Amino acid sequence: MLCCRDLKSGGIFFLALFILGCASRQTSPKEKYREARELMGTVASIDVCRDNQNKEGLSAAYAEVWQRLEEISWRMNVFDEKSDVAKVNNAGGNPVVIEPDTYQVLKDSVYFSELSKGAFDITVWPLIHLWKESAKKNILPDPSALAVVKEAVGARHVGLLGSGKVQLLHPQTKIDLGGIAAGYAVDEAVRIFRAQGIVNFFIDIGGDIYAGGLNCEGEPWRIGVRDPRDRFTIIDVIGLSNAAVTTSGNYEKFYEIQNQRWSHIINPLTGYPQQEVVSATMIAPTTEEADAIATALCVLGSQEATTLVNSMDPSYASLIIIKQVTGEIVQFPSQSYEEYRLKN
């Protein structure tokens, strides 16, 4: 079993998704090659099962991937003053022109907001800031202050004017692409590898995962879903080939106010942290989709989230986990999730 690190909260912990080994049905498994780097506030690792690629060609493909990921990392980082995100946030409501890739991610973000009826929202940053400041003071946000901040939240405040031009339509609106940029970055790495003829690979940026082709034993990549109550326990195993998976949840990151834990995932519709869902695992054709929708599922709650995924085609699947007041864990799989679950 291979674990990964996430540096977003300043520490190292096991992710909700694990790469699992599997018994080989072949006598000559392909050679696995791996590179990993700290990137986007976490660790990015990339495994490739070598076919006929020479080492020089593989090294060149990796170099192109890392260069592209580094570019996305700073360009879409809310904390980098040189980034496109900072450029939009610091424009004072004036239109600004940003790079085409960031503009496309903004456009996709608005789509996911509409798809999830506002549950996924890149303008939730002012609410996140309010809760962070409240946690520092160990007090709940003042309801009147929260109501004022909420007015600045909503995809309706993001004006996409075409030709890369963006305008924020409320003076307090700020955008944050933290819930989608890593997924987009993984998809860019996928694009580059496939353009180089590399088809069997596993890309993981802080738990945003794409499984390309087959693993080095010639089988679908096996990924374990962690029990949110115990970081060392696997509660389910899925098999993926040419598909993405991401898990969002409140089991590792949270606000603690007056001895009570509050999820770090804020419901943009209420202004308060979501409470019911412990984790939401989303399988999708692209990692950007899995990344954004997984966050939305946490906000929507088990019933509405599962209904949303069931309305999609079978290439989309989800597993929602809630923790009842008794401490019991209850799973809500979507209709197509069983197609990905591996029988042990």
72: left (phi over 0), alpha (psi -120 to 50) or beta: alpha
In a domain, 130, yes or no: yes
Query: Among candidates 189, 234, 236, which has minimal Cα distance to 211?
Result: 189
pLDDT > 70: percent of the chain: 89
Distance of CA 44 to the CA centre of its chain: 13
Categorize the per-residue pLDDT at 16 as very low, low, confident or very high, splitting at 50, 70 and 90: low
Does 141 fall in a domain? yes
pLDDT single digits (tens) 109-156: 999 999 999 999 999 999 998 988 888 999 999 999 999 999 999 999
Give the model's pLDDT for residue 23.
42
Give domain status of residue 44, yes or no: no
In this structure, is residue 225 part of a structural domain?
no
Q: Could you tell me the two tokens for 287?
A: 């990692």
Which one, of 30, 46, 9, 26, lies nearest residue 208 by Cα? 46
pLDDT for 158-202, tens place per residue?
Answer: 999 999 999 999 999 999 999 999 999 999 999 999 999 999 999
Does residue 124 sit within a domain? yes
Q: What is the pLDDT of residue 135?
A: 87
Domain tally, the chain: 1
Does a structural domain hold residue 149?
A: yes
Cα 311 to its chain centre, rounded Å, is: 21
Range of the domain at 123: 84-168
Look up the pTM and report it.
0.89
Q: Decide: residue 160, CB within 10 A, 0-12 exposed, 13-18 middle, 19+ buried.
A: middle
Lowest mean pLDDT among 76-90, 250-264, 281-295: 250-264
- Tens-digit pLDDT profile for residues 39-58: 998 999 999 998 665 677 89
Cβ-contact 206, 8 below 8 angstroms: yes
Which of 289-293, 298-302, 310-314, 317-321 is predicted least confidently? 298-302
Q: What is the CATH number of the domain that holds 123?
A: 1.10.3980.10
Mean pLDDT across the chain: 88
How many distinct helices (H) and strands (E) make up the chain?
8, 16
Q: Which helix (H) or strand (E) holds 255?
A: strand 254-257
Residue 105 lies in a domain: yes
Question: Do the domain assignments include residue 151?
Answer: yes
